[in-house]
Amino acid sequence: MNIIELLKSILQGIVQGITEWLPISSTGHLILVEEFVPFTLSAEFFNLFKVLIQLGSILAVLVLYFHKLNPFSPQKSAEQKKGTWVLWGKVLIASIPAAIVGLLIDDWLDSMEAEHKGIFLYIIAAALIVYGIAFIVMESVVRKAKVSDLSEISPKLALGIGAFQMLALIPGTSRSGSTILGATLLGTSRSVAAEFSFFMAIPVMFGASGLKLLKAAMDGELAAFGTTEWLCLAVGFVVSFLVSLFVIRFLMNFIKKHDFKPFGWYRIILGAVLIILMLCGVISG
């Protein structure tokens, strides 16, 4: 067992748990962590590790919102159960655009990251900056929210938010960033935008992660893992789950009193730092 690799898995889990839900791009942060604190384990392990820590983050949403998302809860009236099914229907509608496009270009994105890392990193940096500016501009011009409750989201609005989630396939944009930005621009309150973004992650990320796990199993990659690999996978999963529980609560409390401008400025600074590191040769493509 390699203690250093376990510590790295803890760090990666922390970064994933924080950046998955804040609109600041988990991809950009995980790449930076891997650049400066890389695993010495196989590429196959790291690809699977990224999948499992995402699942840990999603599990946190299911735990925190179990009652709200459970249509079978005995504590709900018949009308409330119906409303829960309607909410799930809207979440699935919102997931359609990203699911279709993601299936078509997922392999291409993976190959681009592997074969054209330099271009990939500049795209991430540019997306960080562009979306950072977008958040600042949005908060400067956005009008009073028309939709202040999840039940007020129409199927048409859900599909519109889903179209913004499709933009998250561009590396560095952030899935939560795209959906929160889109939902707010389309007239929802910050809290509705954030919660609906959390719920939209469930089918999309479960689907994407499930496909990658299935591919890894079919390719026989799991059979090559030893004790260190399995422990790192387990530790990363648990840490990502626990950190996500805290971060989701933090974000919902934060946006009750603040807007998204701080995240916009943070994205701009991070994107600029990433470009500087690449130009200075600290990070190479």
Does the structure show a pLDDT above 70 at 4?
A: yes
Q: What is the mean pLDDT of the chain?
A: 89
Residues paired with residue 188 on neighbouring β-strands, in sequence order: 147
Neighbour-count burial of 213, counting CB atoms closer than 10 A to its CB (0-12 exposed, 13-18 middle, 19+ buried): middle
DSSP letter for each residue of 120-189: HHHHHHHHHHHHHHHHHHHHHH----SB-SGGG--HHHHHHHHHHHHGGGSTTS-HHHHHHHHHHHTTB-
pLDDT in tens, 56-83: 999 999 999 999 999 999 999 999 999 9
Helix (H) or strand (E) holding 49: helix 43-64
Q: Residue 251 and residue 255: Cα distance in Å, rounded?
A: 6
Q: What's the pLDDT tens digit per position in 215-245? A: 777 877 777 788 888 999 999 999 999 999 9
pLDDT of 2 higher than 80:
yes
Mean pLDDT computed over 106-131: 80
Reported as a single tens digit per residue, the pLDDT across 6-53 is 999 999 999 999 999 999 988 888 888 888 888 888 877 888 888 889
